[in-house]
Amino acid sequence: MRPSQPLGLLTVMKKVQVLAVLLGVVVLVVYFMLLFSGPVTTTTSTAFPVVVTSWLGEYGVEGMQSDLPTLYVITPTYRRPEQIPELTRLGQTLMHVPKLHWLVADDATSVNQQVVDYLKSIGIPFTYFLTPMPQKYSRRWFGYLPKGVANRNGAMMWLRLRATEGVMYMADDDNTYDLRIFQEIRHTKKVSMFPVGLVTHTGLSTPVLRDGRWVGWFDGWISDRVFPVDMAGFAVSIPFFLSVPEAEMPYIAGYEETGFLNNLHVTIDDIEFLADNCTKIYVWHTHTQKSKASSREILDKKYDGTNLRQLQEVMVVN
C-alpha cells in the first residue's frame, strides 16, 4: 500500500477556493430561486380589489363632461397618522385639475371611513378601493419591501374593466405635484416621461436627451433596470394600456416601474419626452417625516364629554 501523501498547502488552498465558489453558486441559486419563485412573477394576479365607493363628485356626470381625455390618477395609500394630511395636500392639488378621476387604493382590509369622508368633502370624482398587500409578498429583500403594488394593480384591474380613453398616472400620496404636470400628461399617446426632482442622493431622475433625442437615463440607481425611472416620472395612455392585456406591476422592490413598463412591452420609440424636452421639473419625490407615536393622552377619561372626543375621530391615535 502506498502511504498517503500529506496535502500540500497549495492543494488545500485550491480545495478551499473551489468550495467557496461552489458555496457562492449555491447561495446565489437559492437566492434567485426564492426571488423569482411563484409570488414574485410579473403576471401573478392579486385578488380582485374591493371597490368600496365610487362617486362622480359634486357636479355629477356633468362635471365629467368635457372634450379633454380623462386623467385617471392612481394613489396608493395606507393607514398612519400622516395619511389624511398627505391626502389633503394631494387632494387639494387635484381639485384644480379638470376631467380627473382619482383612484385611491387603500392598503387595508376594512374601509377607512375618515378617508372616504375626506374624499367626499373635496368633491372630485373618486373611486376608493380596498387593496391589501397579500401576505405572501410581505417578505423583505435586503430590507426592502415593495410598496403600493397591490394598490396600483387593483386600480389597474378596475381601469381594464371601466376605462376606454384617457391617461393614467401613478401619484403616490406623499409626493408634490405642480399643476403643470397634469397639463403635460393629458394628451399622452402611448407613454410619456419627464423629470422627477428629489429622487435618491442624485436629487433627480430623468431621461437624458441630446438635441431633443433620448440618449440615456439619469437616476441614482440604474443597476440592471431597463427603465430606471421613478413611479412619478411617467404616464400611460389608456388605449395603449388596454392594448397589452394583463400587464401588471411586479412585487419586486425597486423594480416596480421597470417591471411594469417591460410588461407593457414599451420601447424607446413609444415614449414622448415632456416638460420642455425634460428641462422642467413639475413633480417632486418628497417624503414626510414620520411622526412619533402619540402619547395617547387624548384618551384620558378627564377629556370625556369634550371636543377632544370628536377630534380623536379624525386622527390616528397609536
Site for ligand UGA, rule CB under 6 A: 76-78, 107, 146-148, 151, 172-174, 230-231, 253-254, 256, 287
Of 170 and 278, nearer to ligand UGA (C-beta) is: 170
CB of residue 243 to Mn ion, shortest distance in Å: 30
CB of residue 220 to ligand UGA, shortest distance in Å: 12
Binding-site partner at residue 184 among ligand UGA, Mn ion, none, CB < 5 to 8 Å by type? none
Nearest to 225 by CA among 195, 205, 242, 240: 205
The verdict on whether 257 is a catalytic residue reads yes
Of 139 and 187, nearer to ligand UGA (C-beta) is: 139
**Stretch of residues binding Mn ion (CB under 5 A), selected from 89-97, 120-128, 168-176, 197-205:** 168-176
Of 125 and 197, nearer to Mn ion (C-beta) is: 197
Given the residues 165, 246, 257, 272, the one annotated as active site? 257
CB of residue 173 to Mn ion, shortest distance in Å: 8
Cα separation, 195 vs 248, in Å, equals 23
Site string for Mn ion, 169-208 (x = CB under 5 A): ---x-x----------------------------------
Active-site residue list: 257
